[in-house]
Amino acid sequence: MKLRLATLADLDDLHDLEQKAFTHDRLDRRRWRHLLKEAHGQVWVAEDKTKLLGAAVLLLKKGTALARLYSLAVDPAARGRGLAKALMEKIEAAALGEGSVAIRLEVQQGNVPAIGLYERFGFKAIAPLFAYYEDGGDGLRMEKRLKGKLPRGSLKVPFYAQQTSFTCGPACLLMAMSALKKKHKPSISEELNLWRASTTIYMTSGHGGCSGEGLALAAHDQGLEVGLCVSDREVPFVEGVRNSEKKRIIAVVHEDFSKRLKKASIQRIHQRLELDGLKRHLECGGLALVLISTYQMHNEKAPHWVLVVAMDQRFVYLHDPDLDDGQSATDNIAMPVPLDSFGRMARLGRRQYSAALLLR
């Protein structure tokens, strides 16, 4: 048996293997092509002479130290020959080689042999997935720590995926509300209401995003204790906006938000949130909405809100509400981002603007 990295020439064999190995939730040819050509990760195959007998897909979350075992498939005719074990060993070694500190996966609860294999490799169940699969079956989210331990409580903050391309801030606020307020259940209508309350109306293109000032007011209106740290007194999000009328509207909205912050006695500090201060806030049971640039994750210099749920000596752990195609919450909860990388992410544009909401 030989293990090697797959190439586009393996597309047909991988598709055929998928049909043999699974009856539901199969990857189609389009998805396999994407995994082989464009995905940030590795596809390993096991072959006997010229026949492909097994495959494993490792996805690497760009900008983080998180890996995911996206798929593990073995030809039913070749089971019992140790192929799954060999592929798992290769995937773990590859993840370590890429600097990952954890591998996550999803598995059907009824797939007892697979769960047994993962448990023998040190994976532990971290969350149930109810009615998760195509056939209505339940699943498990599992994780193996390759280095260190996950900070206590980082997985307890409920995840909520943004339902539009422009509501990352409200989605993060909904996650914080679900963690800090008892029995709160997010909804798309509430997400849009929060966006309407906190949007700057315009940005460089498309719908306006949400400023720290707007989100602070929305959080306050929802009964949360909130403090706001912004790096300067300038109007946010006007860099790159060429239309003078759009700039004027953004400035008018910002001025109104500022007046309302003062009236509501919401503390706004004009300085960057330092990592030591963030760590103390988290250790006291708080959460933080932080504005980042998506460049290190998606190669796009766009502002994006994430929820910081934990921190240790090496990493900041983020819930990112923006799910890419083919992703699930498994990829975006408590993502470990190296401290130095997070420091670069949390500064936007030429003026190195930063914003963070401290919530309790």
pLDDT tens, position by position, 250-270: 999 999 999 999 999 999 999
What's 168-359's CATH class?
alpha beta
Report the alpha-carbon distance of residue 151 to residue 143 in Å, rounded: 14
Q: Taking a C-beta distance cutoff of 8 angstroms, is the pair 155, 126 a contact?
A: yes
Token pair in block for residue 275: 């990592």
The answer to whether residue 239 scores a pLDDT higher than 90 is no
pLDDT mean across residues, the chain: 95
Could you tell me which of 231, 229, 209, 213 has the C-alpha nearest to residue 221? Answer: 213
> Among all chains, which residue has been given the structure tokens 């030591």?
276
**What is the H or E stretch that residue 126 is in?**
strand 124-129
For position 354, what pLDDT does the model report?
97
Task: Give me the residue spans of the domains in the chain.
Answer: 2-145, 168-359
pLDDT at 157: 96
**Which tokens belong to 69?**
């075992």
Packed helices 188-198 and 212-221: angle between N→C axes, nearest 10 degrees: 120
Q: Which DSSP string corresponds to 136-205?
A: S--EEEEEEESSS-PPTTTTTSPP---SSTT-HHHHHHHHHHHHHSTT----HHHHHHHHHHHB-SB-SS
Tokens of 209: 């995003």
Is pTM beyond 0.85? Reply is yes
Using an 8 Å Cβ cutoff, are 253 and 243 in contact? no
Provide the pLDDT for residue 240: 80
Copy the structure tokens of residue 215.
């989100």
pLDDT at 107 over 90: yes
Which pLDDT does position 195 carry in this prediction? 98
Residue 122 tokens read as 């040190």
Over the stretch 149-208, which tens digit does the pLDDT of each residue have?
Answer: 888 888 899 999 999 999 999 999 999 999 999 889 999 999 999 999 999 998 777 678
pLDDT digits (tens, 9 = 90+) for 294-329: 988 887 889 999 999 999 999 999 999 999 877 899
Task: Write down the architecture of domain 2-145 according to CATH.
Answer: 3-Layer(aba) Sandwich (3.40)
Query: 82-96, 196-210, 266-280, 329-343: which range is least confident on average?
Result: 196-210
Q: From CA 70, how far away is CA 58, in angstroms rounded?
A: 6
Q: Look at 1 and 130; give whichever has higher pLDDT.
A: 130
